[in-house]
Homo-oligomer: A and B are copies of this chain.
């Protein structure tokens, strides 16, 4: 029989490509090194550029590559561990908080937030914008919604917005008794404004951490934090060493 055993389950080209590239990254490239451009790589592997890009997209999703328009594709460093669960049972802005206040205004909440706060969409909330750095890079942005009714003394504040106002809101928050909190993580895609601040394109994958803070028998505040999914590994609970040399990313066995 001249017919050799054909691939009974032919792997998609981009999948195979991804495997080959992944191995090449491990053995022939070092962190920060720049890869040949997409047209060159596609030609080298004998595929269309779109197919090559499909493989690159997955590798970027897994945190192996970093692509920047006008610059090129580089080998990404291992994901950084970012502690999310350590400030257990403390209000945002408590001492030791790693977030930096950017701005704050008093406004009505978007519908989704109003639902989480169990309030109507026309009840005023303080909206605080914060950002978080890690390893010299901005890794997350946050929108913090605080029921205006929960921090009544704040009406004395004059400034209508600004970082100083944000800090004043958070300072006021510390006087409340935190009765509990709640956290959820899910996949999302970056809104235009978050993307810009995180130096990513709109739509790039992010990990959305939603935290609800309970006080006075109700949900008093909600935080929606948006982390870069490509560069971050969120860590929880008992801290400790943060190693796992290279990250347990998935890949064809």
Contacts and interface: CB of A to CB of B under 8 A. Distances in A.
Interface of A: 15, 18, 58, 61-63, 79, 81, 85, 88, 112-113, 115-116, 180-194, 202-203, 205-208, 210, 212, 214, 224, 226, 229-230, 232-240, 242-253
A184 B242 CA distance: 9
B191 A253 contact: yes
A181 B235 CA distance: 11
Nearest to A83: B184
B184 A250 contact: no
A56 to B, nearest CB: 13
A202 B249 contact: no
A93 B235 CA distance: 23
A117 B41 CA distance: 37
**Nearest 5 pairs between A and B by C-beta?**
A186-B233, A187-B229, A188-B250, A183-B236, A115-B245
A188 B244 contact: no
A182 B250 contact: no
A208 B236 CA distance: 13
Copies, count: 2
A11 to B, nearest CB: 9
B115 A249 contact: no
Contact of A244 (B210, B239, B244): B210
A62 B189 contact: yes
A79 B186 contact: yes
A250 B208 contact: yes
Contacts of A245: 112, 115
A69 B206 CA distance: 26
A183 B235 contact: yes
A77 to B, nearest CB: 14
A222 B42 CA distance: 38
Contacts of A210: 244, 248
